Structures are given as C-alpha cells and as structure tokens.
A and B are shown apart, each in its own frame.
Chain A
Amino acid sequence: MHNFEFVKPSTIADAIKALSAEGAQPLSGGQTLLPTMKQRLAAPDVLVSLTGISEMQGVCMGDGGLHIGAATPHAVVARDAARHYPALAALAGGIGDPAVRNRGTIGGSIANNDPAACYPSAVLASGATVVTSQRRIAADDYFQGMFTTALEEGEFVTEVVFPIPERAAYVKFNQPASRFALTGVFVAKFADGVRVAVTGASNNGVFRWTEAEDALSADFSAGAIAGLTVAADDMISDLHGSAAYRANLVKVLTGRAVTAAR
C-alpha cells in the first residue's frame, strides 16, 4: 500500500478542513477501504479518520426518526437500535462478521455504496435522510448506481435519519464466499405505503422494486407478490449467481421479508 499522511480530527469542522487538502480521502471503519488500498486500487495522499469525531457517533431518537451517527459501528447499531427499529438493528447485526461489525460504520457503508452492501437497502427502503458535511439528501436522490452516490469531493456523511416504519424486515441471501449480500431485500411498511429496496442484485446498485411496493401497499402479505415477475435484464450475473437466479431471489426474499416483518 502507498504511504500517506494520517490525520484524525475530533470535530466535523476539523474534518472538513482536513479533507480540503489535495489527495485527501475520508476513512471511516476501513473495512472496505483498507483491502482496497492493499490492492493499490485507492492511494490517498492524506487519510482523514472520522472515527474520532464524537458528534458522529451514536444512536438516538430525534426529529424525523432514528438518528445514527455516520461513524457508529454496525455492532453499536445492532445493539442500540434494537428497541427503536428492530429490522435495522438486525440488518446491522448481520453485516460481515463480529470483528467487521466492531469497526465498519454506516457512513462508510453508504458512502462506498457497494452494490452488495446491506445498509443501502435499509436507507432506501426507509426513505431515510442522509445528512452530510454540507447538506441533507433524500435516500431516493442519494444512491446513483454501483459505487456512486450524490456525495461531492470532500463531502462526507455525518448522520443518517431513519423514519420508523410500522413493520419492516431485511432478508439477506449470502454470497457464499464474501458473505456480502448475493441479494438482500428490505421491506418497510409505513402508514402511507410500503417501500421495498433490493441490494446485491442489480447492475445499477440498490433499487426500489416499485411493482412490489404497489402490490404490498394494497395487501401486505407474501401472497400479494405471487403474481409478479422480476425481469432479469439488469441483474448482475457472476460466478455466484446468474441474472435469472438473482431475479428469483428478489422475489423469494421479498416474500420472506414480508412474512418476517414486525
């Protein structure tokens, strides 16, 4: 890995300043970034650790729902979000493995927007708001395809605010090697309708399955989607699953998530 200058600010303001340097890049939990740097696929000149910023840590209820600091590790979300938003807590508790969950953060996950990451599905299905060092971005505007988000150069996520649905569940089918989501479906039922977000499956990254949303908004039961089909056209096809297989998983897992929702 190339060498770099390591800085660890303790406030958002200092982090903004540090990230304005030439070649600077934010570091959150590092569980994806470090392996990428080892492969020399990322080579920042300055690495700005966000894990020392206390105002970006923690889980609490507040305006608009559940606020999760961007630097909050998955393990903390799994524990502290459980009474407020159990489906989200369960998702966090199923990412990677325990050691990864102790370091990896929600901000890092959604900033990277890996097409097989779990969190983007929760953010999108919940209609969450992504708060950054500069602005507030609606989930529907935030995710812009594989590894692509609305974040600008030097901008970083500071918090995510989740409206809390009446019922929700996330069901993930593991890629057998990496244990990322081969496909994962987050279903969230709100008073005004149902949102269904799918990760792992599409060449365009996390997406909403709107046909299922319509069907489930009318009838929130696994049977409601029985007649739907998922087109395989835009699905990822790789060693671990063909496009048709992933399309099948989208439907199977959506049904299971609806059944599991509470």
Chain B
Amino acid sequence: MTKVTMTVNGTPVSAEAEGRTLLVNFLREGLGLTGTHVGCDTSQCGACVVHVDGKAVKSCTVFAMDVAGSDVRTIEGMANADGSLGVVQQAFQDHHGLQCGFCTPGMVMSSAALLAENPRPTESEIRHYLEGNICRCTGYHNIVKAVLAASGQDAGAMAAE
C-alpha cells in the first residue's frame, strides 16, 4: 500500500492504494465517493466517467497511481457552490434525462466535458460524443434533449414531441 494524493472536487485528498487500485475504487472505497459507478469491466459503459485535469476519462480504466497529483472532478463536485444543481444537472432533471440513475453520473460528466469543448453542439454531435455512455432506461431521447437545453438551445423545437 502506498499513499496516493490528488485533488478531488477542489479538495486535496489522500488514501492508501495498491498498484492495481483503479481510480474508481480509489474514489468509491478510499474516499467514499460512491456517486461514480461501475457498470462494466471492458471500458464500454461509461458509468464511471470522471474528469481528470478537465478531461473526461473512464475511471475504471485508469490506475489511481497513474493520476496521482491530478485534479479530479466527480459527480459529487458538479453542483453549484450553494448546493443547487449545476446547469447540466438541472437540465437532466428538467428534461427527465434519467430514470434509474445508475448511468447518470457518467452521463452528466461526459455531457459537461462535451459542453466545455463545444458549447453549442448539434444533436448529432451530442449523440456521437455520448457513444461511450450506455443508458438502458431512457432510449437517450431525453438525455440528448437535456444536453441541448444545457447548451442554451431550444430542445423542444429540435426534438419533435
């Protein structure tokens, strides 16, 4: 076991890790941040997406030690300072972009990463960007709408109801 230090949601943290400790296990078991989920073991589903130094990564496919010293953001760090939902989170609630909630943290983190790179994505750009995040509940309709809305676009007009 080695002590691994990084910044998580703005706070410097450290916890014990082995070489094989994945970032997702470090967050969930080491730090108790269970908002980040594990939905597969082949780096496909995206339930574990977090931001490392501002970039979306699959935390089940990164060793904690490999990102020591990094700035990590998780779903627990996405709300506004006053505790209210952030823009992407609020859009997901407003547009019913989640049902069981299990893929949701990864969806929100990927969507936020998209909007950071591309503030006004088209429907097609959103769908392609989210191809690494699997949702079994929503058929993606309301997720795409939520991301459109979070980018300030008229989601209702773009998604024929």
Contact = CB atoms under 8 A, between A and B. Distances in A.
14 contacts: A8-B65, A8-B66, A30-B61, A31-B43, A35-B41, A47-B19, A49-B65, A97-B46, A97-B129, A99-B57, A99-B110, A99-B113, A100-B132, A103-B58
A179 interface: yes
Nearest to A4: B19
Interface residues of B, number: 28
A34 B42 CA distance: 8
B65 A99 contact: no
A30 B65 CA distance: 13
Given A27-B66, A178-B44, A100 B20 contact: no
B63 interface: yes
A98 B18 contact: no
A6 interface: yes
B20 A99 contact: no
A162 to B, nearest CB: 24
A113 interface: no
B80 to A, nearest CB: 24
A99 B44 contact: no
A143 B63 CA distance: 29
Q: Which 10 A-B pairs give the minimum distances between C-beta atoms?
A: A97-B132, A6-B19, A102-B55, A99-B56, A6-B65, A34-B61, A99-B58, A4-B19, A1-B20, A3-B20
Given A3-B19, A103-B62, A98 B41 contact: no
B46 A38 contact: no
A51 B55 CA distance: 15
A141 B43 CA distance: 31
Interface string B113-127: 110000000000000
B119 to A, nearest CB: 15
Contact of B20 (A2, A8, A31, A98): A2
Interface string B20-61: 101000000000000000000111101001001001111011
Given A3-B19, A6-B63, A6-B65, A102 B41 contact: no
A179 B46 CA distance: 14
A22 B62 CA distance: 23
Given A2-B20, A98-B132, A99-B110, A30 B63 contact: yes
A6 B68 CA distance: 12
Interface in B76-119: 110, 113-114
Interface string A157-181: 0000000000000000000001100
Contacts of A31: 43, 58, 61
A3 B114 contact: no
Interface string A167-197: 0000000000011000000000000000000
A99 B46 contact: yes
Contacts of B60: 34
A63 interface: no
A75 B55 CA distance: 10
A35 B61 CA distance: 7
Interface string A98-115: 111011000000000000
B16 interface: no
A37 B62 CA distance: 12
Contact of B41 (A38, A51, A179): A38
Nearest to B129: A98
Contacts of B66: 6, 8, 27, 30, 49, 51
